[in-house]
């Protein structure tokens, strides 16, 4: 059962939050319903260290303009986040156990398309790779710093900084792919 929960945590939280907000609105406490999402974000941060993305915050803000549109878009995003998490989990399982907790989806780094974020991460000094399931990931150390010399197992494509490290005129590292 825990695997099903882990694989669908975003959609479960999103659906539960929508139901709770509707319930609070029905009993005349609609303002409290607006606090459900930030409360969920706080709980996720306290338990897992996760913070909402810029897209999540934007969807939350749009809910004030149209509750139905905000709920629909947040449900779709929750489904997509769960799909990304499943793919990242599958990729991480291909690596040594000591590295698995530090493998993250490139979507955590920024809001550009995954391929662009992979290149951006490499230019900032990190190793990124695409798994066989199409998902791009990167790795950080225990302090959250990008790891520049990781050799992923079972990767379709890898981007990482060139050695010796040389910064280009814009302050980013030169990188290559293999």
pLDDT digits (tens, 9 = 90+) for 59-99: 777 776 666 766 777 788 888 889 999 999 999 999 999 99
Name the DSSP class of 68: H
Phi (first) and psi of residue 166, to 5 degrees:
-135, 125
Q: What's the chain's average pLDDT?
A: 84
Reply yes or no on whether the pLDDT at 1 is more than 60: no
Assign 167 a pLDDT band (cuts: 50, 70, 90): confident
pTM for the full model? 0.73
**Which stretches within 27-173 are classed as H helix?**
30-33, 36-48, 54-65, 67-92, 114-123
Reply yes or no on whether the pLDDT at 120 is more than 80: yes
Assign 53 a pLDDT band (cuts: 50, 70, 90): confident
pLDDT of residue 59: 74
pLDDT of residue 115: 95
Phi (first) and psi of residue 127, to 5 degrees:
-95, 130
């Amino acid at each position: 059962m825990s695997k099903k929960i882990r694989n669908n945590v975003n959609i479960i939280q999103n659906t539960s939050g929508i139901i709770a907000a509707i319930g609070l609105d029905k009993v005349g406490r609609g303002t409290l319903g607006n606090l459900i999402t930030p409360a969920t974000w706080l709980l996720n941060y306290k338990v897992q260290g996760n913070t909402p993305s810029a897209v999540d915050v934007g969807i939350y803000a749009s809910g004030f303009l149209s509750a139905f549109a905000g709920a629909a878009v947040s449900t779709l995003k929750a489904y997509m986040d769960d799909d990304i998490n499943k793919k990242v989990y599958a990729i991480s399982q291909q690596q040594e156990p000591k590295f698995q907790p530090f493998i993250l989806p490139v979507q955590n780094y920024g809001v550009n398309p995954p391929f662009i974020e992979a290149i951006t991460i490499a230019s900032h000094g990190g190793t990124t790779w695409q798994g066989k399931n199409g998902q791009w990931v990167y790795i950080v150390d225990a302090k959250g710093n990008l790891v520049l010399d990781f050799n992923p197992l079972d990767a379709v494509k890898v981007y990482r900084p060139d050695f010796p490290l040389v910064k280009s005129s814009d302050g980013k590292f030169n990188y290559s792919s293999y």
